[in-house]
Amino acid sequence: AQTVTQSQPEMSVQEAETVTLSCTYDTSENNYYLFWYKQPPSRQMILVIRQEAYKQQNATENRFSVNFQKAAKSFSLKISDSQLGDTAMYFCAFMEYGNKLVFGAGTILRVKS
Amino acid sequence: EAGVVQSPRYKIIEKKQPVAFWCNPISGHNTLYWYRQNLGQGPELLIRYENEEAVDDSQLPKDRFSAERLKGVDSTLKIQPAELGDSAVYLCASSHRAGRNTGELFFGEGSRLTVL
């Protein structure tokens, strides 16, 4: 069974600084997707960024980028120029093609002014 | 475009009582999911629908949980009777056909259940 591990229960960062959230996963598959979802307090979860395993290039979305290390089964999220609105729970998630999404336990990120 | 709508947002009940949650997915989304999110944990899939067919309900505790998606649009998740351990946030999500295969799900705000 696939597992997703987020080893940082909580993180803090000063506004405008950079923070990296860690994620590791376990799978025997070669083709899959990895995701970071954001869940702000009392608001719905939204997709932040997605990485397809067959692509070597790391995905980027504005201030969000990932460091995908397939051999190490590592998938970290870097948030640059952190903003107060980035405060949320961040979930790393894994999915085999056409299968169900498996989430990690989440990392609470607090951006401080 | 309206997002995924869930109700109620909050529900407090005594154990052994029934409870139902309703979800209206994004228009045109064929796939609908119900997830349960326990405090401090990530969401776990309970059931997935393709149109009106439940294609993955392996994690749904069928002794007390039931779900339906009549006409392939709205869905209802029911718990009867509720137990203390059912306290959680119940999330509904939907995706279009391509999103089902690529993991792009659109979530509602969730229904927070407290069982006393």
What is the share, in percent, of chain A residues with pLDDT greater than 90?
A: 80
Per the CB < 8 A criterion, the answer to whether B2 and B23 are in contact is no
Q: Report residue A39 as tokens.
A: 């869940």
Q: Tell me which residue has tokens 């969000």.
A: A64
pLDDT of res. A70: 94
Quote the CA–CA distance of A20 and B63 in Å, as a whole number. Answer: 42
Per-residue pLDDT reduced to its tens digit, A24-69: 999 988 889 999 999 998 788 999 999 999 988 999 999 999 999 9
Residues from chain B that touch A4, judged by Cβ atoms under 8 A, are: 42
Question: Looking at the partner chain, which of A47, A97, A103 has a beta carbon nearest the beta carbon of B104?
Answer: A47
Q: Do B42 and A100 touch (CB under 8 A)?
A: no
Residues from chain A that touch B44, judged by Cβ atoms under 8 A, are: 103
Quote the CA–CA distance of B81 and A68 in Å, as a whole number. Answer: 44
- The whole-number mean pLDDT for each consecutive block of 10 residues of chain B, a chain of 116 residues, reads 91 97 94 93 93 90 94 94 96 80 85 97
